[in-house]
Structure 1
């Protein structure tokens, strides 16, 4: 146990966490040379396509350190349990779970971009858990890297000596061996508190053949094949069929010892039996106190997911349950709307929502329709009763007041883009809280913003207005009273629940106008006229019309009396009217996706 080190890699998105993990795997010969590839820990296709880490990945490395330089004798073998974490704000729950299983963290900072918003957020998470922080300055080989300025920022932020900052290039491998040495020198070995076995489940996934596979950090005791164990939270008992570790492929072990990170398989088919945050202990020598698990994360963005084929409802339920095992921040509950039976799902952000929908369609072969994303509102009805509304269609027609969720957003950007960022925040009804220069070139802006305004296109606009240099992070603040209305979208006079949304009264017309114009482009022409309207209550605020296909019925009339032409046109008009009464308009999936982005 004295030669075991548990650590994670934390950083802002795209600062080189997965590349550094690759180099550490190479240095410790964890992967044979012929099997090496970039971002080897990003195992999902969707991660590779988007170039981002979505799931935290745990891997065991064996580091043989030459102690001759330190006056020692020969090599010392260390067991390093590394967890590579995501960098995007939407996956911060993954980071918090990884941090709880570690004693130390590598804080990676891009030398060309410096400290960014998610760097700070992840650093504060690590500090809350009293982790040993090792600052690592990455990408020093880039032509645009400003090593001196980035070093100053780290020194000022952490209060460390400049000599403690490791300057590396994960891509070329320069300075990476010193990272392994720093991990073994600076991060403490795990300590045990009680003799009984206690292990914290920090991640799980479902395998069709082996059932639930749980990743566990053993804080006390040990586990081996054949042990009878109990989940202290769910009170379920089961027998361990296999224990092992990822190195990075699954490798079975005889025993999982104290301080180690690995997986346990118990052949469980019941997804509810062993949840993330639960504590496992042995039945014959049970522990009395549970390990502190994880606070239940609260969703910030809600949307409805509906199968295009009604018979797929149960398949969708099964898929969501299996995905929730792998992604503990996902929330869902069944709902019935005009679109049929589906699920109201809660996510940590818009990217999280996109990833979940894409995983459901790819991994479980489902065809889904997603409604417009919304947040949770608090509504006081005329009777004085309060209720929470996540679906715009559930908003009552008459109410006393409505409160919307607010967040405190932190934006870090170069000083030349301060004006552009302030303009964007004011457009989103933001209120300035503070402004601080974190270096001579970079500014930290703090704004109170309505969550409903930033869940759609705020991040995209922030990146485009600052040429990609700005970064942001946010924390929930509470609820405030606001003048909000529900805008319904009607296609051929029928409301489309999935496209309705709640918006501030001042922006209702512009959002309504934008969505009907977009739908006009996307809804295919029919044999009859299709009106597309946006309304607040009974009042229509915007309208566009998809013109009908029209055959030239008077082409065969050469001259003759005008009444003959009128008769043919009237017959055509009557036919179109009948068609409109019985015709259904098929709204393509692209229309729902476009509505999300407006």
Structure 2
């Protein structure tokens, strides 16, 4: 049987993805599968083969899902096995990229649930498992890293068996590093995961599950064909936008692009239409033929909603247009990225960008700086608040400067349901942390005598800043966190403004809980006192809620020693010189304005707090 696109019968295709917590060895297992199926020869093989971005390879994490087609001949029993084509999708493990995972699951019939044999089940493992179960996928439980000295496969096999509902003996034991057990796993994928179902004679329907921008070829769209057959050189139509294009190239990724003549039912491949506009290839859209199109589109994906907003500003104002173009390109690769222009008196022109979480913010910022040679400042991250005024008017606030003046009736903030898995020794420390972050406990279960699952309801604003770092440091790195949005709740929130010599500076404003307003005001005023250079006159730095001052620091004036030339002599002469200097300072204070250097803004707004 050929590995050519379009020539494979649907019952010989197996579509699966690998899901796991961060660092449990998804990319390493994918490397071994690529080697065993011989789609990558020994000379080209390298670690983390599917992680194409420098940033992924440096951090050792997967950010983008990758789809790869691999031929496999099973070794069932004594005789000849069957010929299969496996479409594997390697997915990210971090909570911020679970949106990528949900899209990948929709393109599959089965999932390999990977668990580290030395660490056991973690919070993100559970989250991904529930996602797979919601999509009715066949789940193959696998313990990885059995070659580690600290591995305890028997104990964790029981944990997984209890979760998935199988016997501990049915959990596969493999080592992505040495390759032990990977052949048996590939055979099991062919046997246990069902073949894709679709009507080969119906009008074609293919689901877009990812798209990337290539400088030379335009938009490359990754699709999973559900019904019918997509042919090269045919006219295709995007069902949501009704846009028509000619299909210039069609093919599969194996693991480098390999063009063909068609894609049939159940196949996963790519399309190139020569389109340059990134918005014309929407993730979740259905592709069909322009002549004889399908009647109804496939159910798409729910749009990813930003959880955290932050301002991105170029340090050099002339880079504004470059930043816009760079964000446009990134938005194609990352459907969850949203942005709109904004201006700030302190930082100039920039964009208000929506992210899924802090790691997402960090990765996007780093990709912009590297791939487009930009120097950026990001303002402190904040979440979206809904403010209801006394007269009933409702205002959405994504930036503290939009917070309305006047009396408010209610302010709501987003809350999340957080699941924390921790060794039982650290339950007290985790509960204390969640209580200080305004958390409400929802429940607690012991997965085994040593491991506890704790469920809390927490305000998102308390999580996005440094909650994860605090959690790791209090549990010596053993706890893991997963969270999902669960609506809004009312809270007693206030806007804290920073005034320099009585003038409000928008860039330093923040929306915080009333109980923490004093702490925030004192901290930022103290930080600015160190950062703003001394002026010719005294500068008061004040933190205020409305018209009430809650904290104050003074930057002392630079004084020339006017008494240096007076030695001995009459005291009235000295007093006259000091009075004259005092008058001059007073006059200067009335007309002078405080110069805040760019570095002070950057340092005060840094998201990586000391």
TM-score, shorter chain, exceeding 0.5: yes
Which is worse superposed, 90-99 or 493-502? 493-502
Which is worse superposed, 334-343 or 413-422? 334-343
Q: Where in structure 2 are the equivalents of 1:439-518 lying within 5 Å?
A: 439-518=448-527
Question: Residues 244 and 256 of structure 1 are in contact (CA less than 8 Å); yes or no, is this contact kept in structure 2?
Answer: yes
Distance 1:36 1:559 in 2: 85
* CA separation of 1:267 and 1:70: change in aligned 2, threshold 3 A: same
Corresponding position of 1:62: 71
Deviations 1:67-98 (A, max 9, x none): 3x51333x643221111111111111000000
Match of 1:348 among 336, 347, 356: 356
Deviations 1:214-272 (A, max 9, x none): 11111122223211100011100000111122222222223222211111111101222
Deviations 1:110-137 (A, max 9, x none): 1122111111110011111111101111
Instruction: Indicate yes or no: 2:175 matched with 1:164.
Output: no
Match of 2:321 among 291, 294, 314: 314
Instruction: Indicate yes or no: 2:153 matched with 1:147.
Output: yes
Question: Residues 508 and 605 of structure 2 are in contact (CA less than 8 Å); yes or no, is this contact kept in structure 1?
Answer: no
TM-score by length of 2: 0.92
Distance 1:276 1:463 in 2: 34
Question: Residues 499 and 595 of structure 1 are in contact (CA less than 8 Å); yes or no, is this contact kept in structure 2?
Answer: no
Distance 1:355 1:529 in 2: 41
* CA separation of 1:249 and 1:552: change in aligned 2, threshold 3 A: farther
Q: For structure 2, list consecutive stretches of 5 or more residues without a partner in the other structure.
A: 1-9
Corresponding position of 2:96: 90
Matched position secondary structure for 1:383: coil
Matched position secondary structure for 1:25: helix
* CA separation of 1:582 and 1:496: change in aligned 2, threshold 3 A: closer
Q: What's the offset of the Cα at 1:597? A: 4.0
Match of 1:216 among 193, 215, 223: 223
Question: Residues 500 and 594 of structure 2 are in contact (CA less than 8 Å); yes or no, is this contact kept in structure 1?
Answer: no
Match of 1:262 among 243, 247, 269: 269
Which is worse superposed, 464-473 or 221-230? 221-230
Corresponding position of 2:19: 10
Which is worse superposed, 18-27 or 454-463? 18-27
Question: Residues 199 and 228 of structure 2 are in contact (CA less than 8 Å); yes or no, is this contact kept in structure 1?
Answer: no
Deviations 1:135-192 (A, max 9, x none): 1111222222222221111011111112221111212222222221111111112111
Corresponding position of 2:4: none
Distance 1:170 1:542 in 2: 56
Corresponding position of 2:425: 416
Question: Residues 225 and 268 of structure 2 are in contact (CA less than 8 Å); yes or no, is this contact kept in structure 1?
Answer: yes
Corresponding position of 1:395: 403
Distance 1:388 1:47 in 2: 35
Distance 2:276 2:528 in 1: 44
Question: Residues 498 and 592 of structure 1 are in contact (CA less than 8 Å); yes or no, is this contact kept in structure 2?
Answer: no
* CA separation of 1:595 and 1:129: change in aligned 2, threshold 3 A: closer
Matched position secondary structure for 1:137: strand
Match of 2:142 among 136, 145, 151: 136
Distance 1:570 1:15 in 2: 72
Deviations 1:455-509 (A, max 9, x none): 1111110010001111111122222221110112234544332332111111111
Which is worse superposed, 291-300 or 486-495? 486-495
Question: Residues 404 and 480 of structure 1 are in contact (CA less than 8 Å); yes or no, is this contact kept in structure 2?
Answer: yes
Distance 2:36 2:567 in 1: 87
Instruction: Indicate yes or no: 2:370 matched with 1:362.
Output: yes
Corresponding position of 1:183: 189
* CA separation of 1:176 and 1:520: change in aligned 2, threshold 3 A: farther
Q: What's the offset of the Cα at 1:595? A: 5.1
Which is worse superposed, 41-50 or 452-461? 41-50
Distance 1:50 1:546 in 2: 41
* CA separation of 1:486 and 1:9: change in aligned 2, threshold 3 A: same
Distance 2:538 2:226 in 1: 68
* CA separation of 1:558 and 1:317: change in aligned 2, threshold 3 A: same
Matched position secondary structure for 1:412: strand
* CA separation of 1:178 and 1:396: change in aligned 2, threshold 3 A: same
* CA separation of 1:161 and 1:531: change in aligned 2, threshold 3 A: same
Question: Residues 515 and 595 of structure 1 are in contact (CA less than 8 Å); yes or no, is this contact kept in structure 2?
Answer: no
Which is worse superposed, 242-251 or 347-356? 242-251
Corresponding position of 2:382: 374
Which is worse superposed, 102-111 or 314-323? 314-323
* CA separation of 1:282 and 1:567: change in aligned 2, threshold 3 A: farther
Matched position secondary structure for 1:302: strand
Corresponding position of 1:79: 85
* CA separation of 1:486 and 1:582: change in aligned 2, threshold 3 A: closer
TM-score by length of 1: 0.93
Distance 1:43 1:593 in 2: 32
Instruction: Indicate yes or no: 2:333 matched with 1:329.
Output: no
Distance 2:541 2:186 in 1: 62
Deviations 1:189-227 (A, max 9, x none): 211136211111111111222111111111122223211
Give aligned pairs, total: 595
Q: What's the offset of the Cα at 1:577? A: 7.0
Deviations 1:503-556 (A, max 9, x none): 111111112222233334444566665543322112222233455666666556
* CA separation of 1:522 and 1:150: change in aligned 2, threshold 3 A: farther
Q: What's the offset of the Cα at 1:321? A: 2.0
Question: Residues 91 and 101 of structure 2 are in contact (CA less than 8 Å); yes or no, is this contact kept in structure 1?
Answer: yes
* CA separation of 1:500 and 1:196: change in aligned 2, threshold 3 A: same
Matched position secondary structure for 2:11: coil
Distance 2:575 2:231 in 1: 89
Deviations 1:558-589 (A, max 9, x none): 65666676677667764797488145211326
Matched position secondary structure for 2:321: helix
Match of 1:112 among 102, 107, 118: 118
